[in-house]
Amino acid sequence: MSISNLKQKKSRITIFNEPVICRFCSHDVFIPYEVNVNVEQPGIGVRHARDIAICQHCGEVKLFGDPSYYDAEKDNFIWALNQHLLSVRKYKIKILLYVGKRNNDKITSFINKLIQVLSIEVENMSDLQGGVLLQIKLSSLNEMQTIRFIIIDTAKRMNITIKDLTIK
């Protein structure tokens, strides 16, 4: 399978069943591309295809080739590249939070930070005795544990107490 046959979507790529890993952040989620570059003398117009993948965590570009080959002895073509598309999961999240003295600016900042980091969509926000119940929707490639960590970490950094966090 040539890289040009791979879909330009978030995925995990393997070469001979070994995952392609980012050398900077050690993550393995990439979007593959085929690029054409002029590597000959200027004016000749000879272009060569290069295979790249962009890390979806840090943005590093990984340059690699397709080592697939034809095995004449077995009369079989050995495919080296495989792509495993990542499915987008949909989550419904309920957060019961407290901010001490009811501070709408702090809650708004918290929501805006979650929108920025996770691209959440607020479904409902209701006041409870001394707290706020926040109901949000989220579509993400991230696992539930990662989303939970991001929400809790964001709240801690903003001095917001989460009393209950439910992700379904």
pLDDT at 102: 61
List the alpha helices (DSSP H) in 28-143.
104-118
Residues 140 and 77 in one domain: no
Q: Which of 85, 120, 149 is the last residue of a domain?
A: 85
Residues 27 and 62 in one domain: yes
pLDDT at 3: 43
The pTM for the full model equals 0.54
Domain count, the chain: 2
Residues 58 and 114 in one domain: no
Residues 134 and 95 in one domain: yes
Residues 72 and 44 in one domain: yes
Q: The CATH number of the domain where 153 resides is what? A: 3.30.70.360
Full pLDDT tens readout for the chain, 168 residues: 344 578 888 899 999 999 999 999 889 999 999 887 776 666 677 777 778 999 988 999 998 877 888 989 989 888 888 888 887 789 999 999 887 766 778 888 999 999 998 889 999 998 887 788 999 999 887 778 889 999 999 999 998 889 999 999
Work out the angle at residue 153's Cα, subtended by the Cα atoms of residues 97 and 93, and round it to the nearest 5 degrees: 50
Read off the DSSP letter of residue 103.
-
pLDDT at 166: 92
**Residue range(s) defining the domain that contains residue 64:** 3-85
Write the CB contacts of 152 (distance below 8 Å, at least 6 apart in sequence): 162, 165
Residues 120 and 140 in one domain: yes
Q: Among all chains, which residue has been given the structure tokens 């050398």?
A: 23
Query: Which of 35, 36, 53 has its CA nearest to residue 45?
Result: 36
Give the amino acid at 45. G
Residues 40 and 62 in one domain: yes
pLDDT at 40: 66
Dihedral through CA 153, CA 159, CA 164, CA 165, nearest 10? -30
